[in-house]
Chain A
Amino acid sequence: MPEKVALKGLAAADKYYQDYGLRARELKKQGKKVIGYLCAFTPAEIITAAGFIPFRIKGDVDEPITKADTEMETIICPLVRSCFDMALKGNYEFLDGLVVPHACDSICRTYDIWKYTLNLPYSHFINMPHGTDDASLGFYREVLDTFRTSLGKFAGKEISDQALAGAIKLHNQNRAKVKELYQLRKSSPPLISGEELTKVLIAAMSLPVEESIEMLGDVIAEVKGRGGLSARKQARIMVIGAQVDDIAFIKLIEDSGAWVVADDLCPGAREFLALVDVSADPLAGLAERYLRKVKCGRTYREMKGNYQEYLEDRFGHMGRMIDDFGVDGVVLYIYKYCDPYGFEVPQIKSYIEAKGTPVLYLEDEYSMSTIGRLRTRIQAFLELLGSK
């Protein structure tokens, strides 16, 4: 392994979080190729299998969006605009390629803008279907095969089933580590704060999978070995939302006097906890995982059974997490212009409230200036939970 930051565990995570892309820049200097991607629906396994470093592009809530607006309409998801703004400002100049999955309109419809503006040596759009029926699954496998062939061409060598199987194993290990880390949130107080955990997961998005596994292992050992967090009795909060790739919001909740102990977020439980089945056909295993196992608002799950069963199928995992992690209240945190999640708000809210857990629904714009405005709502929500 080439040289890395001498820090370990939480300190390393903090460093990689603060200086996002640090490791990718180092590896790039050593001759490695880095493929940037948007959204967790990019099967990073295929990028790893090709011998490249998958690197998830993130935004920055502290950085006002200035450059992006000359190419990208302001009616697009503010997170996507922030990511693009960061790219235009040279934060991701080390990328050799860009992979964009058909996640949502804000991502799908801006692919050309990204592609033509960044003009990287490699770019590819993964046309992931929305449905999860057999026909969609079959189609998606073909789409992944097209990606595999295309990326193989860029790599100068075909991506073999064997290489894919190896990469799948690694990414599964990485996810298993995250799952282990989540177990440390279950105690009261949790062993790791929401802010720390979010930092770790974000840092992981910027590392080669082997290094991510190592960092996660170190974090787990460190957290288990250190003294617990303050034993104050505080509300245990779960955050549900689309992509939260910054600690600001989680920190705001915890600074208001609560623990964030569970989530259905990305990065977070939604994308990390589902594993890829190791099957004879690795692409089929990948298709199955990304299309059927990861439950995101962008995917259309067909209704089987009655409506109540349908809600269970779509949101049951949220309910189970509330029980498993002893959640007192849920914050539903949705960005403006988010069609995939915006349309689910009444259903998610009523599903969770019917289970007896209060929900605070917040709409935000992915900017530090707006996050602060949410403070009073969060504090009031915590007061309301406290007086129950």
Chain B
Amino acid sequence: MSQYFAGVDIGSTMTKVVIMNQSVLASVIGPTGPEHRKLANRVMEEALEKAKLPFEEITYVVATGYGRINVPFADKQITEISCHAKGVAYLLPEARTVIDIGGQDSKGIKLKDGRAVDFVMNDKCAAGTGRFLEVAAEELGVKLEDMGKLSLEARNTVRISNTCTVFATQEVVGKLSEGAALPDIVAGLHEAIATRIYGMLRRLKIEREVALTGGGAKNIGLVRALEAKLGFAVLVPPEPLLTGAIGAALLGKDIVKEAEKKGTPLPRAERRLQEATLFT
């Protein structure tokens, strides 16, 4: 009988699920949010449907991400640090450093032999996370998904000196009224985030190759701004949002294999697909 492993990554803005055996069988990405307490469940059900599997067929479920504690059907919770490390090691084995840029946090992970050996994390300040761009995009009346492309049109990048999101937003308004071009301001915002992330990352002593994951990796402007800081190109997995969920599924697989090897019983959660209760 073949074994199936699920990874559930509940991030602050997106919830991701993958189901794997030898490779990824199904994946689903949906938004997290106050209305999505039931989401882990629903997304999981959707993934099962895609994989044409009943929940009972899943051998092991690992939850990760900011909402990992609130996935009652998960067999184990593992932090996003370990899961991103695992995911990147699988997807981009040549990577030694991981930058994950999420909606509410960003992190840097140092890899050795496919495992995390050190990490840094920023989750207290919106500057340096997707949130910063989100706030600024709203202020500028630009769609968030257009920000990256727009920044590439910059001719004369505007320097944003404030790192506080509130201050920076005010600064952006000021620059606009001074007549700065929109792409130049947007490029400045990307540069500001890249500076914050790069500063944090340098605590790890960056080693090549560098992989970029999370929602931030889908923003071409941010990718370019970070590459400018680093001085070389970064690697981006085909679907950067799924990295953590893939890592989670793979770590679940490791746990099962380890238990089988040792012949120890596998501690499992109560096998019920029930509502995930976020923000309890």
| A residues whose Cβ falls under 8 Å from a Cβ of B | 358, 370, 373, 376-377, 379-380, 383-384, 387
Contacts and interface: CB of A to CB of B under 8 A. Distances in A.
Interface stretch (B118-126, B157-165, B232-240, B262-270): B118-126
19 contacts: A373-B123, A373-B124, A376-B66, A376-B81, A377-B119, A379-B79, A380-B80, A380-B81, A380-B82, A380-B119, A380-B121, A383-B78, A383-B81, A383-B82, A384-B81, A384-B116, A384-B117, A384-B119, A387-B82
A383 B76 CA distance: 12
Given A384-B116, A387-B115, A370 B79 contact: no
B267 to A, nearest CB: 12
A346 to B, nearest CB: 10
Interface centre among A358, A377, A379, A380 (most CB of B within 10 A): A380
B127 to A, nearest CB: 16
A382 to B, nearest CB: 9
Nearest to A380: B81
A376 B121 contact: yes
B82 A377 contact: no
Interface of B: 66, 78-82, 115-119, 121, 123-124
Contacts of B121: 376-377, 380
Nearest to B123: A373
A376 B69 CA distance: 11
A380 to B, nearest CB: 4
Main DSSP-derived SS at the A contact region: helix
A376 B104 CA distance: 14
B79 A376 contact: yes
Contacts of A384: 81-82, 115-119
B243 to A, nearest CB: 15
Given A380-B80, A383-B79, 6 more contacts: A376-B66, A377-B81, A380-B79, A380-B82, A383-B78, A383-B82
Contact of B116 (A370, A373, A376, A380): A380
A370 B115 CA distance: 28
A387 B258 CA distance: 13
B4 to A, nearest CB: 23
Contacts of A377: 81, 119, 121
Nearest to A382: B79
Contacts of B82: 380, 383-384, 387
Contacts of A358: 118
A281 to B, nearest CB: 48
A62 B175 CA distance: 41
Contacts of A379: 79
Contacts of B124: 370, 373
Nearest to B115: A387
A387 B114 CA distance: 11
Contacts of B116: 380, 383-384, 387
A387 B79 CA distance: 13
Contacts of A370: 124
Nearest to B64: A376
Contacts of A380: 79-82, 116, 119, 121
B66 to A, nearest CB: 7
Contacts of B79: 376, 379-380, 383
A386 to B, nearest CB: 9
A376 B138 CA distance: 30
A384 B124 CA distance: 22
A330 to B, nearest CB: 13
Contacts of B66: 376
Contacts of B81: 376-377, 380, 383-384
B122 to A, nearest CB: 11
Contacts of A376: 66, 79-81, 121, 123
- 10 A-B pairs with the lowest CB-CB distances in the bound complex, closest first: A380-B81, A380-B79, A383-B82, A379-B79, A376-B79, A387-B115, A384-B116, A377-B121, A373-B123, A383-B79
B102 to A, nearest CB: 12
A9 B182 CA distance: 67
A358 B124 CA distance: 24
Nearest to B203: A361
A41 to B, nearest CB: 30
A74 to B, nearest CB: 14
A130 B118 CA distance: 35
B62 to A, nearest CB: 12
B103 to A, nearest CB: 15
B145 to A, nearest CB: 27
A337 to B, nearest CB: 14
Nearest to B117: A384
A227 B78 CA distance: 31
A377 B78 CA distance: 11
Nearest to B81: A380
Nearest to B84: A380
A370 B125 CA distance: 12
A320 to B, nearest CB: 24
A95 B115 CA distance: 54
A183 to B, nearest CB: 33
Nearest to A377: B121
Nearest to A359: B118
Nearest to B77: A379
A387 B251 CA distance: 11
Nearest to A256: B79
A277 to B, nearest CB: 42
A377 B203 CA distance: 15
Contacts of B123: 373, 376
Contacts of B117: 384
Nearest to A376: B79
A380 B81 CA distance: 6
A287 to B, nearest CB: 39
Contacts of A383: 78-79, 81-82, 116
A269 B229 CA distance: 43
A367 to B, nearest CB: 11
